[in-house]
Structures are given as C-alpha cells and as structure tokens.
Structure 1
Amino acid sequence: MTQVSDQDAAEAVNEQAPAADRPPTRLERFRRRRLLSHVSIMSKLILMMVLCSMLASAVIGGIAFHAGRTSIREAVFNRLTEVRESQTRALTAQVNDLRNSLIIYTQGGVALNALEAFTAGFDQLNNASVSPAQWQSITDYYSKTFVKEVEQYSGTKLDAGALLPATPAERYLQANYTAVRQNDDVAITIDDAHDGSQWSAANARYQNFFRQIVTRFEFEDALLLDGRGNVVYSAYKDVDLGTNIIDGPYAGSKLHEAYLKAMSANAVNYVGFTDFEFYQPAEMQPTAWMVAPLVKDGRTEGVLALQFPITKINRLMTFDQQWQQSGMGDTGETVLAGPDDLMRSDSRLFLENPQEYKAAVVAAGTPPDVADMAIRQGGTTLIQKITSPATVNAQRGETGTIITKDYLGQNTLQAYAPLVIKDSDLHWSIVAKVTTSEAFARESSFTKTMVLVTTGIIFLVCLLAIYLAQIFVRPIRRLESGAQRISAGDYNVAIPVETRDEIGDLTEAFNEMGRSLTVKEDLINQQRKENDDLLRSLMPDALAERFKQGEETISVEHPNVTVIFADIIGLDRLQAELTSEESLTLINELIRQIDAAADNFGMETVHTVRNGYLASCGLTVPRLDNVRRTVDFAMECQQIVGRFNSETGNDLRVRAGIDTGAVSSGLLGRPSVVYDMWGAVVNLAHQIKDGSPQPGIYVTSSVYDALQESLEFDSAGSVSVDGEAQPIWRLTERR
C-alpha cells in the first residue's frame, strides 16, 4: 500500500484550488528558481537597484503626495471658508449699517413729523374726486405700463381692472403722482403736483429727505404707513401709494406681517427685516423690507418701511461681478439660500451667460420653465433651487465644508454656514463654492509634477543602475574571461586587482589559483610524461596509446615474429650468496646491459620473470631479418654474461630458446595490467629453453631452416609438443 506524506497530500489539494488562492507548489517554486537562475547577475543588480529605488520613490513620493495634496486641499477649503466668512461679515455689516441708519431716521423728528403731515393730507383726501381724464390716465397706466411690466417678468396674465385703486384718496394720489410718472428716475424727483392739496404740500416739504435716504442707500422705495395700515407716502409714488397693507390689494405681501410686528414692538430700537418675495408693485422683482416703528409719547403712530432690493445683495454676493479680481477664479461664487431651498442671490453663470446657465441647470434636473422664468426675471433669486447637503446642513445650523454636486450638476467644493441676521426671522444659508476641477487644478498639477519627478528619478536610477552594474560586474566578467581561458588550458592568466573589497580578494584568490594550476599542470605534465615513459617501457607504443584511450580489451595478431625466451643459469645461487640489495644491484646492471643490447638489435622486450627474459623481434615493427636479429641478440647476451663473469668472478651461463612464426600480444589483467605475448611460438620457445639442460642457444626447425647457411647448429634432440616430437638445434658458431 502506497504511503503519501502530509506535504504531498497538501500540495495535491493545493493543485486543485484556484491559483490565486493557494500557495505555490514545489514544482512552481522550482520553476521560479530555474527562471531566476537564467537571469544574469548584472540584470539582477539592475533589477534590485531599480526595485529598491522604485520602492523608496513610491514611499517617499506617496508621503509627499499625501502631505502635498492634503495641504493643497486644506488651502482650498480654507480659502472657501475665508470667502464665506468674509461675505457673511460683509452682508451682516451692511444690514447692521442700514438698521442703525433706519433707527436714526425713525428716532429723529423728521420721519415722525412727515408721517403726521402725510397722514393728515391723506385723511383730507378721503372725499376727493378725480376727473374722467385723470381716471383714464390711471387706467391707461395700469393697462399699458404696469400690467405689461408685471406680465413680462412673471409670465402670468393679470386683470388690470382688478388692480385699479378703489378709495378716493388712493385714486387721487395715483392720478396726480403715479399715473404721471414716466419711470422711477422721474418719479423720485417730483416734489409737488401743484394740486394745492395738503398732501402735496407735505410731499414738497419731505420728499427730499426720503429721496436722500433711498438714493444714498440704494433702496427701491421708502413707505410711510399710518396706524391704520394706509400707505400714506411713497418716495417713488408706485401703485402701492394710498393702498392699505392690512386689507388692501397687497395685504398678502411680507410687508403686512412686518408692519404688524413693528406696530406691536415694544423695543425702542426695533428694526424688522423680511425675507425676499416677488412684490407686485415692484413689477414682481424680488424685494425685502426693513421696517421700524415711528413712536410719539410711547405710542406707535406708524411705520417707516424701506424696500430692500435684491441688487444690494447681488452686488455683495457676486463681488459686483468681479469674481476673477476677487480671487474666485473661473467657477467660484457665493450664493444665499432660503429655507425653501431657493436662491436669495443670483447665479454667477446666469449673469455671465444666461443660455449656458439654462442648458446646465436643465441638464442637472431643473425644469425648463423654471430656467425660462429666471431669464424673464433677469435673475435666479426666488427661482433657482439650490438643494444640496451643504444647504441642508446649514439650515440645521451646521458649519463646514463638503464636496458635492451643485445646482449646475458640477462637482464642487462647498463651504457652508447659516446666516444670522439680528432681530429677524430669516433662516438663510450662505455657501461659497468652486468646481473641483478648478479647485484641484493645483492638485492635478502637483500630481503630474510628482509623477514626472518620480518617473524622472526612476529613469535616472535605471541609467545609474546600468552604469554602476557594469562597473560592479566588470571585474566579475574579467574573472569569467579568465576562467574561460583557464578552462581552455591557458593557466598563465593574471587579472589586475583594482579594489580592496570582496571582489578584490576573489581576484587575488583567482590569480593564486591560476598560479597553482600552472604549477600543478607542470607537475601533471611531468608525471604524465613519466607515466608514458613507464607505460612505453612496459608495452609497445601503439598498445600504450590504445590503453590510454581507454580500450579495455587489446589483442593483436602478428604473422611473422621471432621469439626468444632466455634465462641465466646460476643466478639463483648468486642471489642466495649475496644480500638482497647486492643481488638486486647486480641483476639490474645485468638486465640494463641486456636491454641496451635489445635496443641495438631491434628487439622488443616483453617482460622479465625471475631469471627469465622474454623478447621478440618483428612484433610491432615488422622486420624481414627478425630471425637473424634474434639469434644475434642471443649471442650478444652470451657475451654480456661472459663479460659479467670476467668482471665479477661469477660463473653464469645463458640458456635461450628461439622460435619464429605467428604470435598474439596484448594486455592482460584488471586492474593490474600486464603486457604479454602468447601463442604456439612462445610456448615452443619456452619449452626448448626449459627442456635443454645445458647452457646455449636452442632453436626450432623454423629458425634452423632460416639460418643454417650462415650459422652452424648441432642437433640437440627434440621436445614433445601436443604429443608430437619437435627437433631442436643448438647454435655452435658462425660459418
């Protein structure tokens, strides 16, 4: 039963799992290591330096980018917050200045005296009548001027007859003042209608006072209302002159409620401020009211009401349309919003390009008829919705900044806050905003700069890495080149040491290795030569070469070889009489002389065994006279032994057997290899030598037949070879 290890089982499970959810297997790790093993060290160095630089650049760049972006965003939000606070302070200061001025006017005697004079004049007109011509002028003004202007701005049809003045005083005043006015500029200059009435006398006395108020502070109108709610005076003599704010045609305006609050106020310095509304007498232009009571002896006699136009708010909120010079850029603006989510100021885009404004707000979800109405009205106040999280939060009394879409459908940065007006029921919100594309333009530029700088750094690091890697790898490549030269057999390699670091140490060690290899190569060559010499002394050169090439079975057939097998009689006795060292010295000297003679006669020594000496002629070098050379060598051996006897006083004799014919030679044995020669010729030569009791040179019939004409032989009997008698001959002398 096959046993499976826990690791193998785990890897088998991992192989079945998705590649992204499992750890790499051993095969995958091995493949990755193999892949890396094929990458050059220079590439690894470059990759390492680049990766480290990229990592460092990414970390440092990320920190710098985060800090820079945070700083830029904080600067943008802080700028918007400063604009919002600045606009809030400016608007509050403007209202407070007007409030203080109104308090001064109401607490002085002029306004109160004017109210008394106009009230008396108004009461005198309760029974006044107008001529048909005057009435016609009234109806013509309403139908041809006032109603057309209101319809133009509001987009709704009006019934002129329903708007005509109803009371005698109202008719009289509008006949003598309203119907004759050509425009506001003319109306404000009329001091006296010269009708002889008490009201005209009061107007001639006080018109300049109120004219200064409305023109210097840019109010739309100034009204005096008596304690019964009658509009007893109007600086611009508009259609609300003579009407009653309590039950008259304009009782539904915000002036009605403001009047009642002012009449019932107990505070000496009370000033009421209303929200904006479409006020019909002002041709449906957005209008707000500032009202203050006129008090005499602790009793409120009436109210001074100043008609606050939207132009004053717009001039402030739009920086008098100098957005660029005010630091608001191309898209920045500040707007006011009421609790009904409608604008209380005009849109910048509307003032710059109404048609572009219409296209943008309609695309953002505003109904087209609302956009058309804004174009008819000439502004977006009380028309354009500005619902956003910023205004919602501001209505809850919160202050802050946010990134959200605006009424134009653009992503914007918005700084919001509630706008608090003292002694008023206003719940306005102020929002300073700018599009994210413009607000973050510096951030985008900063991001591009960071990307370019980081990319540039990485590029320079890559170039530097390539250059440094080449410098670093240069000594390694020199070492590689030196190693290749050494592997090619050139050990005379010396690489200059240029550094004192680890590579310098490695270079010195490499050079030392080269020198050591040179010495060892010389020793090996010397040893190889000695081995070759030894090998050639043990076997023929041809067999030696074949043996060095690795051949294991070497055998050669030789058709014509003469073999001599000889021994020295008496050598055993000599060895017994002498010490081992002395006998070895004598024998080596004797063998040396015999080997020298063998070289002279072209004999090839096979081996020496105890007292025997085996040699041949014509074995490796074919010779036609190999028989004669062998016999001459045998006779030379006799002479060598004879000289030895004469020199040493010993009695040694040579006994040799010679035969000629085909033999075999080769290497025998493993692992100790011996060169030997075998065959019938070798055996017969050995038998002739061993079978002859007397010293001498014995030959076979083959040798005898070849040399009988040049040498004398005596019959020496015969030897038995494979049961057959073979005659042998003994050499006696030359002929």
Structure 2
Amino acid sequence: MLLATSVLSALVVGFIGYQSGRSSLRDAAFNRLDEVLSAQTRQLEAEFRYLRESLVIYTRGSTAIEAARAFTAGFDQLADATITPAQEKAIVDYYQTEYAEITSEATGQEVDVRGMLPTSNAQKYLQAHYMAPYPDWNDAIKVDDARDGSPWSAANARFNDFFRQIVHRFKFEDALLLDTRGNVVYSAYKAADLGTNILSGPYSGGDLTDAYRKALETNVVDYVGVTDFSNYQPSAAPTAWMISPIGANGRIDGVLALQFPTAGVNRIMTMEGKWEEAGMGETGETFLVGPDGLMRSNSRLFEEDPEEFETRAVEAGTPPDVARQSLQAGTNILMQPVSDEATRRALKGQTGTIIEEDYLAHEALQAYAPVDLPGLDWVIIANIDTEEAFAPVSSFTRNLVLSTAAMIFLVSIAAMLLARLFIRPIRRLEAGAQQISSGDYGVTVPVHSKDEFGDLTVAFNDMSRNLAIKEDLLNEQRQENNRLLLSLMPEQVVARYREGEETIAQDHQNVTVIYAGISGMDELAADLSAGEGLELVNRLVRQFDAAAESLGVEKVRTLHNGYLASCGVSVPRLDNVRRTVDFAIEMQRIIDRFNSETGNRLKLRAGIDTGTVTSGLIGRSSLAYDMWGSTVDLANSVQSGSPQPGVYVTSRVYDAMNDTRQFAPVDAVDVSGRTEPVWRLSEHRA
C-alpha cells in the first residue's frame, strides 16, 4: 500500500512537472527567437537611419554643393574634347575584356558590349583617362588627377577624397554625382556609368532613374530616396540606392546617389558569422525578403557551405539554374526564392512565430515581422531548426523521465525498508541469538524503543553479558591449564593428552640428557624460612629455565636441589651434545654468580650422557611427565658417583666434544654390572 501510494504520487508530480516545464521551455525558445529578431530589426533600422541622416548632412553641406557645380562645369567643357584613336581603342578593349568578363561572371551569360560603349565626347574623355587605364576599381578611386589639365580633373583633384571617404567609411559600393540633366558627372570608382545619362543612356529606365526623378521633383529639404535591390549592369551585384538632392536655399545643383552596400546588409543579417555567440546555435539565422519573395540578404548555409546550400536548395524546390546562378554571383540577393508561411504573413504586415517548413524544407521555429525602412517593403525572418530549438525540451523530458524512474526506484526501496522496519527488532534478536549459538557471547543488540521489544532486548543483552563473563572466566581457566600443562610436559604430549590418549610414551633417538644436582642447598635452606627457601630455589630455577630456553634445551622436571633436562626430544638437533654441555657451563656460571652476590657456597655437580631415552606421562589422577632409560640412569650415576663438584660426561659425550672442550679422566662408575669411564670438563676451552 505504501509503495503504490508513493509511486502514484511520483507519477502525478512528474506529469505536472513535465507539462509545466515543457511549456516553459517552448515559450523560452519562442521568446529567445523573438528577441533575436527584434535585435536584428533594431540594428538594421538604426543603420538605415544613420545612413539617411548622414546623406542629408553631406548633400546640404557646401562641399557637396561646390563639388556638384565644379564637376558639372568641368563635364560641360569636355563636350568638344579631342579623343585620340588610341584612347578610343583602349575604351573598346576595356569593355570587351574587363567589363564583359565581370558582367558574364555575375549573370552567367555572354554580354554584347556594343550597346554599352560611350557615345559623347565627355563620356569618352572621362573613361579614357580614369576608367580604361585602371581595370581594378580599387586603383581608380585612388586617382585624384589624371594630369590632363582639364577643369574636370581639377575638380576631381579637389573633391575626390571627400567622396572617397564617404564610400570607405560607410562601406558604400559607389557614389555618383548627377547634374540636373541626368548626366553622371562623377563616380567614385570611375566605373562604366561615368559620363552616361541615366535618362537616355544605356542604363536608363531602372530604379536609379525613377529615384533620380523623384529627388529632382521633391520639395522636401531633407528628402532621401531609397530603392530596393535590383540589377544594375555597371555593378557586378544587385544594387540598391540612397539618393538625395544637392543644394540649398531652394536651388538644386545636382543629385548624390550612394550605391547601398550588400555587404552591409549581409554583415548585419549574418551577424558577421557569429551566429552561435548571438544565440542562434548551429542552425539559426536571420534574413531579409522583399515583396517579390526573393531574399535581400544571404543565407547562413550559403555563407558557410555554398555547395551544400545548392544541394539542399534544389532538394527544397529551388530551380537548379537559380541555385547555380547564386553560386556564380556569390550572393542570394534577388535570386533565392522564399515562399514559406512566415514570409507570406510578414508581407501582409503581420508579426508572430510559427513552426513550419522553411525555404530549405526543414521544419523550423520561425519568427517574422515587417521592417520599418521608408521606401522598402522588406520583411525579416528568424528561424532555427525545431530539433535544435527544442533540444532543451527533449533534454528536460529525458531528464524528467530518468529522475521520475529513479524516484520510483528509490521509493520502492524505501517502501521495502520501511516494511522491514516493523520486524527489525525481531530480526536483531534473531541475529543475536544465532551469534550466541555460534559462540559469540559478546553480542549486544541495540535498544531503539521503550516498548515490549525494548524490554525484551534489554533482557537479551543481560543474558548475553552474563554468558560473556562466564565465557571469559572459562577461557582464563583454559589458558591457565594450558600454561600449567606446557610447564609440565612438551607441547606434542599436551596435544596428545587433549585428544584423549591415555597411554602416552615415546622413544627418542640421539638425545642428550643432563642430570644436575646442587650441593649445599639443604644447609642453606636450614637457616631460612620455608618461604625464603622456596624463593631461593625459584630464583635459581628461573635462571636455569631462561638459559635452557636460549640454548634449545628442554627441562624435564625440577627437584628441590636438582634439575633434569634434555636436548633433541621435541626438536631434533644435530648439535644436541654441544648445546647440553654449553647449558651445563651456563648453570655453573649462574651458581658462581649467585655465590658471589649472596656469599653462599652452593656447588654444581652435573652428569651428561647421550643416547636413546623414553618419555611419557605417568599416573592417572595425578599426571607427571618424566623421562627414563639407560641414558638417564647413566647421567644420574655420573653426577652422583663423583664427590667433587663439576660437569661429568660419559665416553659418548667425550667422543663428541673432545675436539672443542678439555676434559680430564676421573674414576669410572659401575652401572648395571658394567664399568663406564667418566671425564670431567676442565675450566678452560681448548
């Protein structure tokens, strides 16, 4: 029940969070796109206002007025100028090579330049001196004076830098000065339209002509005419114009026409290539569309990968020749059609956001709005692929599903733990009982409640504590018993005794036995109390035991005034004879040290033999570990049969040690009807 309630709660909370979060993230995506659209619109409108106001300032200034008058006068004086055949040929060659090549690359078609050749003397003169010698327009704009001595060149030397600065600072494509008769009396870049007449010449009849007429006919002092992008043959790219009359005090001396830069529009719309920094991600973009449904700025994909743009545009329905022409011209302006729903609504003056297929047939989140540019019916579109725009929604949904699943899992675990919580006291007592049954009497079950389970736990802990105390006492007793057994017999005999063997005896080969007696002990003890005498004996025995342990000699038993030990019983040793003799010498030193410290006169008499012995337990109710055999008897006889103190050895010990120790022969002893030679260990080594 607890689990079902918790899971249901998690699902309800997750569903509500999903609906709320999804809606918020989708709104945030739309709002972000609206913000980008608004920012781009404001920037574009501000740029246009700045250019328009700057143009008004220039055309009302004295410099522009004087320039218009000077270039017009100079142009009129070239009506009768002489044109040499060489100059005529240079002009024709320029049109047939440079001009034709540039125009063909821009349009993708062959151009017949015969109709474009200059006809008037003034036009021929200017193009012969300022255009034909400079195929690169960037070189032509730098020429202030052709050194021909004409009044037009004088005017150019005076005013060319003024217009050149306007073009460079505001990044216009060109600047034209037109007189009141339609003649192009000045061109900053000295292109093919220099000296032509836009009312009757080869480039008449276009948007520039219409805008020029309106500028002359207007009575507004601050009039600025703006044309939409259109094809203008002297330029290699679609061209838009900003036109304003030049003059003051009601007199018009000419018209200044600035060729609006496509690069400036693209710079704003493409965010200078910094789409991601502007918040448009990997697929977002903004672009302009004109009333004819053609782009007025470049596509992002066109800027990043023109070939990929061509492929996708053709797949989306763009005619292949149109897509190919965009690549040849290097621009989408007036070439790429846009006919999606967002553009249609924006052209109707509407503003909003929708999700539709864009001009590349990708589902996209689109924001649209008209642009407030006087004289231009452009709209602005901002779009981003829905997959990228709603990526936070997908991520949020995935995280929410995972977190809800994790929550349900954790709730399930918590429910299982809580269900087990009710029987946890019993489980703890059960586990404690199992530990006690396995011999762990130190277990303590924690008390977490004051109910019946708590009382039961307290009683259980008391029982466990009492059992632990009794177990500790038993362990101490076992350890004491073990220590006593090990002090009475070797560890191997103790192990056999614990296993239940009743008759424990074992023969040992190659064992050396020392039987030592201390004379003078009884006389010394007679003058002492029982406790003092016992303390004296224990003092010597403890030193004997320490020496035996350090030399690998095993004590068999201790007498009041004697000591029986062996070497090679529990641990077989090849040098058991040497160790036993060294032990006897160490016992003599202990006696000598004791005498010098206490002033007593104890004496050591020890007998050593080597051979076969038998060891084992003797008795039943009162056990004793002992060693017996002829080797033990001989060692006892050797020490007891010599009246003088010292270390006495048998012939077998003598044979083993005479190379390293000095021995002196003494009286033999009789053992079991046979005579045994005896040697006494000298005080000094060999």
TM range (shorter): 0.5 to 0.7
Relative to 1, partners in 2 of residues 1:234 and 1:450: Cα closer, same or farther, differing over 3 Å?
same
C-alpha distance in 1 between matches for 2:102 and 2:94: 11
The SS at the match of 1:450 is: helix
User: Match of 1:61?
Assistant: 14
User: Match of 2:69?
Assistant: 116
Relative to 1, partners in 2 of residues 1:100 and 1:51: Cα closer, same or farther, differing over 3 Å?
same
Relative to 1, partners in 2 of residues 1:51 and 1:221: Cα closer, same or farther, differing over 3 Å?
same
C-alpha distance in 1 between matches for 2:315 and 2:11: 41
User: Match of 1:145?
Assistant: 98
User: Match of 1:405?
Assistant: 357
C-alpha distance in 2 between matches for 1:260 and 1:73: 51
State the shift of 1:300 in Å: 2.2
Identify which of 78, 81, 86 aligns with 2:39. Answer: 86
**1:374–1:383 contact (8 Å) kept in structure 2:** yes
What is the correspondence of 1:229-378 to structure 2 with a 5 Å cutoff?
Answer: 229-283=182-236, 285-378=237-330
Asked if 1:428 corresponds to 2:381, the answer is no
State the shift of 1:500 in Å: 13
The SS at the match of 2:79 is: helix
Asked if 1:382 corresponds to 2:334, the answer is yes
State the shift of 1:499 in Å: 12
Ranges in structure 2 where 5+ consecutive residues have no aligned partner: 426-447, 454-686
Post-superposition CA distance 1:468-502 (Å, at most 9, x none): 45567999xxxxxxxxxxxxxxxxxxxxxx9999x
* TM-score, normalised by the number of residues in structure 2: 0.61
**1:233–1:241 contact (8 Å) kept in structure 2:** yes
Relative to 1, partners in 2 of residues 1:130 and 1:54: Cα closer, same or farther, differing over 3 Å?
farther
Asked if 1:446 corresponds to 2:399, the answer is no
Asked if 1:215 corresponds to 2:168, the answer is yes
What is the correspondence of 1:415-494 to structure 2 with a 5 Å cutoff?
Answer: 415-421=367-373, 424-469=374-419
State the shift of 1:207 in Å: 0.5
User: Match of 1:521?
Assistant: none
**2:298–2:331 contact (8 Å) kept in structure 1:** yes
**1:291–1:303 contact (8 Å) kept in structure 2:** yes
What is the correspondence of 1:516-665 to structure 2 with a 5 Å cutoff?
Answer: none
User: Match of 1:179?
Assistant: 132
C-alpha distance in 1 between matches for 2:6 and 2:106: 68
Ranges in structure 1 where 5+ consecutive residues have no aligned partner: 1-44, 476-497, 505-735
The SS at the match of 1:433 is: strand
Larger-Rg structure: 1
Q: Which amino acid aligns with 2:117?
A: L
The SS at the match of 2:82 is: coil
Asked if 1:201 corresponds to 2:179, the answer is no
Asked if 1:170 corresponds to 2:120, the answer is no
State the shift of 1:429 in Å: 0.6
User: Match of 2:652?
Assistant: none
Post-superposition CA distance 1:605-663 (Å, at most 9, x none): xxxxxxxxxxxxxxxxxxxxxxxxxxxxxxxxxxxxxxxxxxxxxxxxxxxxxxxxxxx
The farther-off stretch of 286-295 and 461-470 is: 461-470
C-alpha RMSD of matched pairs (Å): 2.3
**2:126–2:194 contact (8 Å) kept in structure 1:** yes
C-alpha distance in 2 between matches for 1:200 and 1:499: 111
**1:286–1:309 contact (8 Å) kept in structure 2:** no
Relative to 1, partners in 2 of residues 1:52 and 1:360: Cα closer, same or farther, differing over 3 Å?
farther
Relative to 1, partners in 2 of residues 1:474 and 1:204: Cα closer, same or farther, differing over 3 Å?
closer
**2:316–2:361 contact (8 Å) kept in structure 1:** yes
Q: Which amino acid aligns with 2:404?
A: T
* TM-score, normalised by the number of residues in structure 1: 0.57
The SS at the match of 2:148 is: coil
C-alpha distance in 2 between matches for 1:156 and 1:54: 72
Q: Which amino acid aligns with 2:269?
A: M
Identify which of 137, 157, 182 aligns with 2:110. Answer: 157
State the shift of 1:59 in Å: 2.3
What is the correspondence of 1:680-699 to structure 2 with a 5 Å cutoff?
Answer: none
C-alpha distance in 2 between matches for 1:365 and 1:458: 50
C-alpha distance in 2 between matches for 1:138 and 1:351: 36
The SS at the match of 2:258 is: strand
C-alpha distance in 1 between matches for 2:288 and 2:182: 31
Q: Which amino acid aligns with 1:432?
A: A
C-alpha distance in 2 between matches for 1:265 and 1:299: 12
Q: When the two structures are aligned, how many residues end up with a matched partner?
A: 432
Post-superposition CA distance 1:309-329 (Å, at most 9, x none): 100111111111111222221
Q: Which amino acid aligns with 2:125?
A: Y
State the shift of 1:55 in Å: 3.2
**2:215–2:245 contact (8 Å) kept in structure 1:** yes
Q: Which amino acid aligns with 1:59?
A: V
State the shift of 1:89 in Å: 1.0
State the shift of 1:299 in Å: 2.7
**2:60–2:248 contact (8 Å) kept in structure 1:** no
User: Match of 1:127?
Assistant: 80
The SS at the match of 1:276 is: coil
User: Match of 2:346?
Assistant: 394
The SS at the match of 1:431 is: strand
Post-superposition CA distance 1:187-214 (Å, at most 9, x none): 1101111122111111111111111111
> Percent of aligned pairs with the same residue?
53
Q: Which amino acid aligns with 2:379?
A: S
**1:278–1:287 contact (8 Å) kept in structure 2:** yes
C-alpha distance in 2 between matches for 1:314 and 1:115: 32
Asked if 1:414 corresponds to 2:362, the answer is no
What is the correspondence of 1:24-39 to structure 2 with a 5 Å cutoff?
Answer: none
State the shift of 1:71 in Å: 1.5
State the shift of 1:243 in Å: 0.8
State the shift of 1:147 in Å: 0.9
